[in-house]
Amino acid sequence: MLSLAVVGRGGAFIHHPFPFFFFKFLLLFIVVFLIVFLIVKLFTSKKAIHYISGNKALDILKERYAKGEINEKEFKTMKKNILD
């Protein structure tokens, strides 16, 4: 019969795979959580939002310039502000 106890210097402890399974599951959960967190953080970062909204703002600015609503100096100033 296979013994479930291992005797060491500190005495006996029950040799059971459950703690190892639990830590592997916990490690897997942490890794998956970090991956999901980083992906969400990447797509919702201020830089990404600024880049997306910056392109739309630049398109609107170009449209206003093409319609003649603003002059070249105003266009260049506003474009610089959008891209910075």
Q: What percent of the chain has pLDDT over 90?
A: 27
Residue 40 shares a structural domain with residue 53: no
* Full domain range(s) for residue 38: 15-44
Residue 22 shares a structural domain with residue 40: yes
Residue 60 shares a structural domain with residue 82: yes
E-state strands within the chain: 5-8, 11-14
Average pLDDT, stretch 36-49?
A: 76
Question: What dihedral angle (degrees, nearest 10) is formed by the CA atoms of 51, 54, 55, 59?
Answer: 180
Lowest mean pLDDT among 5-9, 44-48, 51-55: 5-9
Using the predicted structure, report yes or no on whether residue 15 has a pLDDT greater than 80.
Answer: no
Count of structural domains, the chain: 2
pLDDT higher for 27 or 19? 27
- Residue 13, pLDDT score: 52
Q: What percent of the chain has pLDDT over 70?
A: 63
The overall pTM is greater than 0.75: no
Average pLDDT, stretch 4-14?
A: 51
